[in-house]
Amino acid sequence: MKSPHELILRKKVKELEAQVSKLQYSLLIVEEKWQEFAVSMECFKAGNPIGMLRLYYAPSKKTFRYDFRSLKDVELQILLDQNYTQSNTKKHRNHEGIHAYVDGSYIAGKVGYGIAIIQDDTMIFEDFGSVSNPEYLEARQVAGELMAVGKVVQWCKQHGHQEITVHYDYAGIREWAIGAWKAKQVLTQRYAHFIRTCGLSISWNKIAAHTGDHWNEYVDNLAKQGTRL
């Protein structure tokens, strides 16, 4: 077996194939890219390649999620997102108004950030990048977390939004912003001052990391991608 969860993942791939084949899509497992909790697939429409899809399985929650950022076909992305929502109803929250998901990552000495902006249950913007300021790198992924919130604030100002709900998994994002934690480092001091004086009304929602929350996992992947820039 290539993965202890191979049978479960193969069964899910067959279910997906049955759903999308009606619209001339087909999926081909890339056998050499198996991982413990994931399988990669080449995707085709009417026989033409349209990119890669990755399917992840969380055994503790018995849930699946997809990484379809390499797909070039928007229609298939929508179908997969609908499939995720239907099979993980408890993980799907109502995003009325403007919401943002943020995350940071530290890999091999590099720090990345990722953000996704959701409006009325539809993602309208995403971004990822690296943190290059040497003053901040010693804070590792925390620097990416705080940079992500800063990018969200900038986006809100550019697009005329005065309030937003920020979903995060690192407690300091909120605690420094509201003064519950004392900001002792240059990075956290600048962050706290920036948030308190930004003029936005921010609601904070803490999410437990790596528990199958779709958008939390999505920005986690974006932040990891940012470390490769």
pLDDT at 160: 94
Q: Which domains does the chain have, with CATH numbers?
A: 6-91 (no CATH), 98-226 (3.30.420.10)
- Cα–Cα distance for residue pair 84/61, rounded to 1 Å: 14
Q: Which of 104, 100, 81 is nearest to 91 (CA)?
A: 81
Stretches where the chain sits below pLDDT 50 are 89-92
Tens digit of pLDDT for each residue in 146-183? 999 999 999 999 999 999 999 999 999 999 999 999 99
Query: Minimal CA–CA distance to 43: which of 67, 26, 56?
Result: 26
Radius of gyration for the alpha carbons in the chain, expressed in angstroms and rounded: 19
Question: What pLDDT, on the 0 to 100 scale, is given for residue 89?
Answer: 42
pLDDT of residue 91: 47
DSSP state of 96: -
pTM of the model: 0.64
The pLDDT value recorded for residue 63 is 81
Q: What per-residue confidence (pLDDT) applies to 58? A: 82
Nearest CA to 129 among 109, 147, 107? 147
pLDDT in tens, 190-217: 999 999 999 999 999 998 876 667 888 8
DSSP 31: G
Strands 201-206 and 63-67: unpaired
Structure tokens at 198: 């930004």
